[in-house]
Amino acid sequence: MATMTETTVTLAAQGGARGRKTYKPVRFAPAASRTPRRSLLLTAAMTLLLLYSLFPLFWLVVNSTKSVDDLFTTFGLWFADTNSFADNVRGVFTYDDGVFLTWFRNTVMYTLIGAGGSTLFAAMAGYGLAKFQFPGRRAVFAIVLAAIAVPGSALAVPTFLLFSQMGLTNTPWAIIIPSLVTPFGLYLLWVYAADSIPTELLEAARVDGAGEFRTFFTIGLRLMAPGLLAVFLLEIVGSWNNYFLPLIMLNDPQWYPLTVGLNQWNAQASTADGDVIFNLVITGSLLAIIPIIIVFLALQRFWQSGLAAGSVKG
């Protein structure tokens, strides 16, 4: 019944009815009218975490509007009397013959090829490991988990020695090839493919005469779309912020990504005849994170909607 006005419980004894107890009416509020419980402590903690996360971005925005002199003579968490943001942006794109644009182009190239390629390879490997049975499958699983536990910085020096023997250092391939391998993305897509792709659907495609590659690209990739977006976003962030590997692999500024290039600008202040361009470094750092913000804002609705659809799939 939708509304309960009275609950009556009748107690029966062995020999017959002993009595009748009547309880007070029990009324249940509709689910839509129930207000969620709020915790002041949890709200305060989440607010502090939000402010802590936004603090570096706020500092970048404020100080990108200052000149070099204002950076050292004004309060660091508020704007100066004069706004130099336009001059700083102009300086970023024109300093050293516009090398910032070259670094930006390199970063986009490394990110698109590295993130796109690693996501595709991880999807193919995860699909194969999830939907095919073969000897040594558990050993491969153990190797993947072990690879996740190894930090990328620990492999940078061995990778440099290997690439130096192959003559690939100081070339874009020294950045692109290592970026094509993502053990964590492989593990995520392996688990996702195992749960999101029905085996019966693949068998039906094979009965219809579809080959394995056609089945993967027409059925597997589409069903793995939410997982692919998740891994792709993670790989974009990792490739865009990649610093240590380009630092040891490249010595030609024309191949630098933004991370290494901006650090070289920042290091100029410690050299004998170097220019002090902290204002350009700060403004360039702000401009460097804008594409990442745009990508997340553009893709998050597809990512979240896909994950929500998969969570209620019967």
Distance between CA atoms of residues 94 and 83, nearest Å: 19
pLDDT digits (tens, 9 = 90+) for 213-265: 999 999 999 999 888 998 999 999 999 999 999 999 999 999 999 999 999 99
Could you give the 3-state DSSP secondary structure of residue 17?
A: strand
Which region among 10-14, 89-93, 290-294 has the lowest average model confidence (pLDDT)?
A: 10-14
Q: List 8's β-bridge partners, or say none.
A: 22
pLDDT at 1 over 50: no
In this predicted structure, what is the pLDDT of residue 21?
Answer: 52
Phi-psi region of 16 (alpha: psi -120 to 50; beta: other; left: phi over 0): left
Q: For the residues 180-196, what does the mean pLDDT come to?
A: 92
Distance between CA atoms of residues 189 and 48, nearest Å: 34
pLDDT digits (tens, 9 = 90+) for 15-48: 444 445 555 555 555 555 555 667 889 999 999 9
The residue written with tokens 């970063």 in the block is 107
What average pLDDT does the chain have? 85
Q: Are 208 and 230 in contact (CB under 8 A)?
A: no
In this predicted structure, what is the pLDDT of residue 204?
Answer: 93
Give the C-alpha distances (Å, rounded to integers) separating 301 from 124, 203, 226, 305, 309.
25, 32, 11, 6, 12
pLDDT digits (tens, 9 = 90+) for 262-276: 999 999 887 767 788
In this predicted structure, what is the pLDDT of residue 17?
Answer: 46
Q: List 12's β-bridge partners, or say none.
A: 17
> Pick from 115, 93, 95: which is nearest to 181 by CA?
115
pLDDT at 188 over 60: yes
pLDDT digits (tens, 9 = 90+) for 136-174: 888 988 899 899 988 888 888 899 999 999 999 999 999
pLDDT digits (tens, 9 = 90+) for 95-150: 999 999 999 999 999 999 999 999 999 999 999 999 998 888 889 888 998 999 88
Structure tokens given for 96:
């050293």
pLDDT digits (tens, 9 = 90+) for 270-295: 776 778 899 999 999 999 999 999 98
pLDDT at 302 over 80: no
Task: Output the DSSP codes for 248-275.
Answer: HH---GGG--HHHHHHHHHHGGGSSS--
Distance between CA atoms of residues 187 and 96, nearest Å: 43
What angle (nearest 5°) sits at the alpha carbon of residue 72, between those of residues 68 and 77? 105
